[in-house]
Structure 1
Amino acid sequence: MTSNTVTEIDAIDLIGPLHPADLRRVAAAVHIEVTAAVRGRVQGCRSYLRGVLDGDRTVYGATTGFGALVGFAGRDNDADQADNTLAHLGAGQGPDIDPAVARAAMLVRVWSLAQGASGVSPHVVDALVAMLATTFAPAMPRFGSVGASGDLIPLAYATQSLRGQGHAYLDGERLPAAEALRRAGLRPLTLDGRDALALVNGTSVTTAALGTALHDVRVAHRSAQRLAALLADVLGCDTHQFLHPRLIAAYGHPGAVEVAARMRGLLAGARPSGSRPLQEAYSIRCGPQLLGAAEGALRYADTVLAADLTGVSDNPLFFPDDDLVLHGGNFFGQPAAFAADVLAMVTAQVGNLVERQLDLLVDPARNGGLPPMLAAGPGQQHGLQGAQLAATALVAQLRREVAPVSSQSLPTNLHNQDVVPFGTQAALRAVDQARLLRLICGSLAVGLRQAVHVGARRPTAPGCAQLLDQLVEVVPAIDPDRPLDQDVRRVADLLDHVDEAAGGGSTDAGPDRQAAEPR
């Protein structure tokens, strides 16, 4: 089918590290390169495993039961042992994980398996690569993973869908997995016990969700900087004061230096109105410091994601060159859990800042005398009143969900898993929060467009004027009142496009971090 046509330009390979952008590229059908080197190391590790098992050595999951039942023998038949691995994990609940996240998880999983330390059959790698060359996406339930022995339950559903059991998506349509495989031209996957365990015993869902959330939060974070600059220009603030390079350099935080430099670039040519207070409200004056702190926190999350994308997450691991079979905890998703919780804090505080800027913009006591709620005819019309109420509700939602997930450990599995990180739920929550943040940014952007309509000055900085013109193109003035839900979503999409056009999407870690300002 047409949607499954794959271009081989810029194919993803399994030799070097994955890049965060690969997690988004794989939302569509993508070609993945399986080189002779990859195939050789996977086959070499598989052959080593067969020799280990022929020597009657005990290998978790291949010769034993699972989890707390490791002390009991597994099934003798390889195919039966695969069933033994997967059947009991079919206990997930809740809505499906976003298919784009599910496909990203499959990319992370196949990369880990392709490093040649898991002992999987080469055809498992081939099957995952073939799947990613179509629009097939496993249907995985949202709830059920504690992120300790990897993402056992959602990955078990993914594995079963590749076997033709359960459900899957194809071209966005949810289907019985067997039908989705047939339409995609894929064969049901055959597995033994080691193959099945290797497919589920890793943090691939957590990593995929963390990467998705981190990208989306970064885009919204850059949008918040653009909107803060436009707000300052529209109101006529003296940005030469609170964005001054000497002032920001004295603050000492690299993130603030970078944010302030970016905002100064957007505000180049801006002229203060001379009618604003000597010191603006914190939501304007302290924007570089708050958004700069967020930048520092996002850099920490960058490092965690980078490590996850270059690490092997499985148990046990095999090192044929040293004749080592090592049982351990490389499936423990604590780093991503901490990083996802940091994203939650960043999202809540940036969302709070943007909502407070919207509140300032609609308040005639602080917006330079513009009409209340930016209504074209106050009383007869209500302007941004409904949109501000909705933005406030979104911020409240972010705040309610900012409590750390990574410290909510509960013992389970007969105390075999006596500490757990809950990274899966932390990362999936961060995906949801990022989507709310972009809507809050969209709400402020609609307000800025309306502010100019009801009397605010046109931006004096060319960069800000260009952003306003883009907003005007997609959002008519609110005169008379109309529902704004679609406008907010449309503007949120526009802000994403503006960021991509500006090069923000070229790296998830933001623009080049050369010294933004001399100290």
Structure 2
Amino acid sequence: MTTITPHTATDAPVDLGAPLRAVDLHRAAAPLPVLVSPAVRDRVERGREYLRTVSADDDRPVYGVKTGFGALIAFAGRAEDADQCDNTLAHLGAGQGPDLPADVVRAALLVRTWSLAQGVSGVSAHVVDGLAAMFATTFAPAVPRHGSVGASGDLIPLAYAAQALRGRGHAYVDGERAPAAEALRRTGLGPLALDGRDALALVNGTSVTTAATALALDRVRAAHRAAQDLTCLLVDLLGADPGFLDPRLISAYGHPGATAVADRMRAALAGVVPSGERPLQEPYSIRCAPQLLGAAEDALRYVDGVVSADLAGVSDNPLFFPADDVVAHGGNFFGQPAAFAADVLALVTASLGNLVERQLDLLVDPARNTGLPPMLAAGPGRQHGLQGVQLATTAFVAEIRRAAAPASTQSLPTNLHNQDVVPFGTQAALRACEVAELLRLLCGSLALGLRQAVHVGGRRPTAPRCAALLDALADAIRPVDPDRPLDADVRLAADLVTGGRR
């Protein structure tokens, strides 16, 4: 069943010489030690020295070092390194909208730091050191929500992050928004000095897309587990027969995700005693739950693979390979894999949200809930129970559905047709984060309903693990009797059943 203890991080540093893990991105929301080992610094310095060598050769073109950017590559860039940095970043200050959540920004910068630390981006070693130092503080650049197409990197959002690290624009310290220069002073950091290649390497990757997809995946997975647990609790409270989880039945279905989900649900329902008062076949929101949740599991495993590959890969252009004397110009900044994966997350979220909402609808309906009062009201008419909560869940599902249209199919040419196809992965990933929160609230709403159902006459669960989940909810949330605003209760229930993952 779902753990009810909020996620806690270890104090172990993130080693830039080791694989980057999704859990590290969550840890980056708070001060976090990041280790730049001698081996990491050595490979970064080797890449930087190679950049100096090829830059000194007039016959070796290097994008962004001697040239303009994007569609203006045919024109010479600025001669001075500091000017070339300004040339890179200033024109990208075109983002709009509210600031991204600080946890997304810091996670994105951890992804960016790890990529740069692989030594093939030609950055200065002090850039990696400066980024690592930032993570030991609460500093978070203020980055606008809108402006990236997820190709040639998350240019605009990462440019705002780079400018904040230079002391320009705005940033957050301990959650307070301030001018970036002041935020640097308050955290004991100095402005990060960048040349043209450093600046381009900071922005020329899809780190916002990757980080947001990874965070969204973790949140949807937490809700997916919660949906399994809540389905089991619903089955037990109603006295339904768990025969729809029969291992022979599920094995014949042939899908590995359904097998894994059904195994977990059978374990949660171990010891359940059906009441014998339910129909032979339950509504699909119960009977087909392992098939729906199993398909979601298969889809989430696909997203797992994309996120793992993104976290293990270098997103930048060009890349420098000193051992082979090669400067490789290409498209490793193209966020198509994460765009597809984040769109899949949104589709999974919509289906899970619909399932959870339909289960709450079943629970509050006296025609289908084995005789419990309408809306689970302790005194129908004088009280309204879960009526307001159900209205809100209807709105949540509608909002998730509206947002579930794929972003990855919306390519538009831009940048004088230099970027003639783009993945829009940033939009897909940020949208996946946002709808994951609505799914979490849907799970909290159902959990609140299940807690209330026992108060108004539902039976106590007979499976020990279901009973333990109900007791945890009952210990934290008092019955709805009399009516009261339930917004905070929904959030608390969501925290309990998802392990606090937001």
Q: Aligning the two structures, in what range does the TM-score lie when normalised by the shorter sequence?
A: over 0.9
Q: What amino acid sits opposite 1:115 in the alignment? A: Q
CA distance in 2, matches of 1:10, 1:197: 31
Task: Compute the displacement of 1:496 (Å).
Answer: 2.6
Deviations along 1:203-259, one digit per CA (max 9) or x if unpaired, are 0000110011000000000000000000000000000x1011111111111111111
Q: What amino acid sits opposite 2:327 in the alignment? A: V
Alignment check: 8 A CA contact 2:104 2:211 kept = yes
What TM-score, normalized to structure 2? 0.97
SS of the equivalent of 2:330 reads coil
SS of the equivalent of 1:154 reads helix
- 1:115 equivalenced with 2:118 (yes/no): yes
1:335 is matched with 337
Task: Compute the displacement of 1:32 (Å).
Answer: 1.1
Task: Compute the displacement of 1:321 (Å).
Answer: 0.2
Task: Compute the displacement of 1:120 (Å).
Answer: 0.3
SS of the equivalent of 2:22 reads coil
Residue-pair matches, total: 493
SS of the equivalent of 1:95 reads strand
Which of 316, 322, 325 lines up with 1:323 in the alignment?
325
2:92 is matched with 89
Alignment check: 8 A CA contact 1:343 1:430 kept = yes
Which of 114, 126, 142 lines up with 2:145 in the alignment?
142
1:28 is matched with 30
Runs of 4+ in 1 over 4 A off after TM superposition: none
Task: Compute the displacement of 1:117 (Å).
Answer: 0.3
CA distance in 1, matches of 2:434, 2:90: 30
Task: Compute the displacement of 1:33 (Å).
Answer: 1.1
Alignment check: 8 A CA contact 1:44 1:116 kept = yes
Deviations along 1:294-317, one digit per CA (max 9) or x if unpaired, are 000000000000000000000000
Task: Compute the displacement of 1:36 (Å).
Answer: 1.0
Alignment check: 8 A CA contact 1:442 1:491 kept = yes
Task: Compute the displacement of 1:439 (Å).
Answer: 0.2
Alignment check: 8 A CA contact 1:236 1:272 kept = yes
Which of 249, 262, 270 lines up with 2:251 in the alignment?
249
Alignment check: 8 A CA contact 1:8 1:30 kept = no
Alignment check: 8 A CA contact 1:411 1:420 kept = yes
2:200 is matched with 197
CA distance in 1, matches of 2:350, 2:151: 26
Which of 88, 101, 104 lines up with 2:104 in the alignment?
101
Stretch moving more, 344-353 or 16-25:
16-25
1:517 is matched with none
Task: Compute the displacement of 1:475 (Å).
Answer: 1.2
Deviations along 1:116-148, one digit per CA (max 9) or x if unpaired, are 000000000000000011111111110000001
SS of the equivalent of 1:455 reads coil
Q: What amino acid sits opposite 1:270 in the alignment? A: V
CA distance in 2, matches of 1:17, 1:392: 41
Identity of aligned residues (%): 73
Which of 303, 306, 320 lines up with 2:305 in the alignment?
303
RMSD of aligned C-alpha atoms?
1.1
CA distance in 2, matches of 1:9, 1:98: 23
User: 5+ residue gaps in structure 2?
Assistant: 1-8
| 1:372-391 equivalence runs, <5 A | 372-391=374-393
SS of the equivalent of 2:231 reads helix
2:181 is matched with 178
Deviations along 1:69-91, one digit per CA (max 9) or x if unpaired, are 00000000000000000000000
CA distance in 1, matches of 2:384, 2:174: 42
Q: What amino acid sits opposite 1:488 in the alignment? A: V
CA distance in 2, matches of 1:365, 1:45: 70
CA distance in 2, matches of 1:389, 1:43: 59
Closer/same/farther in 2, CA of residues 19 and 8 from structure 1, 3 Å limit: closer
Task: Compute the displacement of 1:8 (Å).
Answer: 9.2
Alignment check: 8 A CA contact 2:225 2:498 kept = no
SS of the equivalent of 2:320 reads strand
SS of the equivalent of 1:237 reads coil
Q: What amino acid sits opposite 1:17 in the alignment? A: P
Task: Compute the displacement of 1:474 (Å).
Answer: 1.4
CA distance in 1, matches of 2:139, 2:21: 22
CA distance in 2, matches of 1:65, 1:358: 57
Alignment check: 8 A CA contact 2:205 2:315 kept = yes
- 1:133 equivalenced with 2:166 (yes/no): no
Which of 30, 39, 42 lines up with 2:41 in the alignment?
39
2:53 is matched with 51
Alignment check: 8 A CA contact 2:11 2:32 kept = no
User: 5+ residue gaps in structure 1?
Assistant: 1-6, 506-519
Which of 399, 402, 406 lines up with 1:400 in the alignment?
402
What TM-score, normalized to structure 1? 0.94
CA distance in 2, matches of 1:292, 1:451: 27
Task: Compute the displacement of 1:9 (Å).
Answer: 4.0
Deviations along 1:242-283, one digit per CA (max 9) or x if unpaired, are 011111111111111111111111111000000100000000
SS of the equivalent of 1:306 reads helix
CA distance in 1, matches of 2:178, 2:453: 47
SS of the equivalent of 1:21 reads helix
CA distance in 2, matches of 1:38, 1:424: 29
Stretch moving more, 477-486 or 329-338:
477-486
